[in-house]
Amino acid sequence: MSDLDVSKDFKAITLAPFGPIGIISHTSNKDFVQRVSDDLSIRRKRRSLRPDNVFANTPGYYRENYVFDSELIRFQTGEGKFSIGESARGHDIFVITDVLSHNLEIELTDGSHVISPDDQYMDLLRILSTLKGKAKRVNVIMPFVYEGRREKLDSHRESYDCADMLKKLYELGVSNLIVFDPHDERIANAVPLMSIEMPRCQFKMTSTLLNKFGSLRLDKESTLVVSPDETGVSRAIFYASNLNLPLSLFYRKYTGKPGQNGRIFEYLGEDVTGMDILLIDDMINSGNTMFRTAEQLKAAGAKDIYCLAPFALFTNGLEEFDKKYKEGVFKCVCTTNLIYAPEELQSREWYLAADMVPYMGRIIDALNVDESVYDLINSTTRLQDLKSQMRIDELFEDDNILNETN
């Protein structure tokens, strides 16, 4: 089953577009945005050729390029401005932003400066303020949520930046916010009147992993799902339940002794001897959590360890990952291409990226005609279909082996 074939009963040509689509690229990964536009163009062109499509001649329905001409300008003081080269009046605008993009440097009065997530956020506000009152509707696609990794305040004397960010987007007229696999879905409570869609990446990462490693068998006798700590167990439960695999986890045990803030991580679950491991997390930051978990599993007799996380930041560089890979600590790190990945990362043998371009193009296409995107953003059905297809393939393989034996 195709990962895009999720609305079988829906006829895409029966709903009128909200307005002509315009895409604004606020990301250093402009190639990704252009590929999204190309995918959308192919999709719309194919649909416009259908004789029963009454909206084929609607202005802006099909364009060869949906990306708007725009520019973010920085001054030596660090200040900036945004300018758009064409009219957004009456358009359904989709701003694709990558707040974690860190490959752009600017020269300031006191030297070079790497554009930070805070700078990216301020640039996003500049874009939205330019569009406010002009575009017919403004949608923001922010794969990694700015300041969204904290699910609670440790103290009432701390800032809650994620909630403030969401409120600011709403004030600037954002109608739809699309974020992928957020750390905590409760962030939506900060802006109850703004539509927030939260697509999952699990299906695409799983299918990408299986296409790369054909020997990986998703059955109870061969593979185990593991969460590196108890805070991320809900994400691991999703994989385990939909793939019908056993689940284990590590939990914090506080000892009161020096080292690791007085805590150790204890394993709770199935025997890992000879088992392949799907190590599930929401993001890989420095990699220390992944290394700690993988090394303990390897010491317990695990076979190959596949690390799956929608986002990998590699804040401490790639050298330690190269070292651990050579030592056999893990087999693969699978993430999405929703955020910027430098060329040196893409060339690593242990790195695998799930291509989310068709998925994002499909989401934009659906939102533009106000199609229900529930089935589209939910990986449950597609993961279960993938699992059922694998079982059929396994039966055929078993039959072939049996016939060869006879």
Q: Taking phi first (over 0 means left), then psi (-120 to 50 degrees means alpha), and beta for anything else, what does residue 211 get?
A: alpha
What pLDDT does residue 406 have? 38
Domains of the chain (ranges, CATH numbers): 12-200+357-372 (3.40.50.2020), 202-355+384-388 (3.40.50.2020)
Task: Tell the residue number behind the tokens 């393989």, with chain if given.
Answer: 397
Task: Give dist(CA 387, CA 100) in Å, integer.
Answer: 33
Ramachandran angles phi, psi of 394, nearest 5°:
-65, -35
Whats the size of the chain, residue-wise? 406
CA 38 vs. chain centroid, Å, equals 20
Strand partners, 305: 277
Query: What's the pTM?
Result: 0.87
Q: Taking phi first (over 0 means left), then psi (-120 to 50 degrees means alpha), and beta for anything else, what does residue 21 get?
A: beta
Task: Give dist(CA 23, CA 14) in Å, integer.
Answer: 23
- 291 contact partners, CB below 8 Å, separation of at least 6: 320, 324, 329
Q: How large is the greatest C-alpha to C-alpha distance in the chain, in angstroms?
A: 79
What pLDDT does residue 2 have? 44
Amino acid identity, position 296: Q
For residue 211 the two structure tokens come to 């296409």
Contact 26, 340 (CB under 8 A): no
Contact 310, 285 (CB under 8 A): no
**SS3 for 368?**
helix
What pLDDT does residue 250 have? 92
What pLDDT does residue 258 have? 59
CB atoms inside a 10 Å sphere around CB 221? 8
CA distances from 34 to 31, 39, 66, 93, 288 (A): 5, 9, 8, 15, 34
What pLDDT does residue 6 have? 41
Task: Give dist(CA 295, CA 229) in Å, integer.
Answer: 14
- pLDDT < 70 stretches in the chain: 1-14, 150-153, 155, 255-262, 388-406
- 327 contact partners, CB below 8 Å, separation of at least 6: none
What pLDDT does residue 20 have? 95
Task: Give dist(CA 310, CA 334) in Å, integer.
Answer: 8
What DSSP string describes 98-162?
A: -TT----EEEETTEEEEPPHHHHHHHHHHHHHHHTTTBSEEEEE-SSPTT---SS-S-TTS--HH
What pLDDT does residue 374 have? 76
What pLDDT does residue 51 have? 83
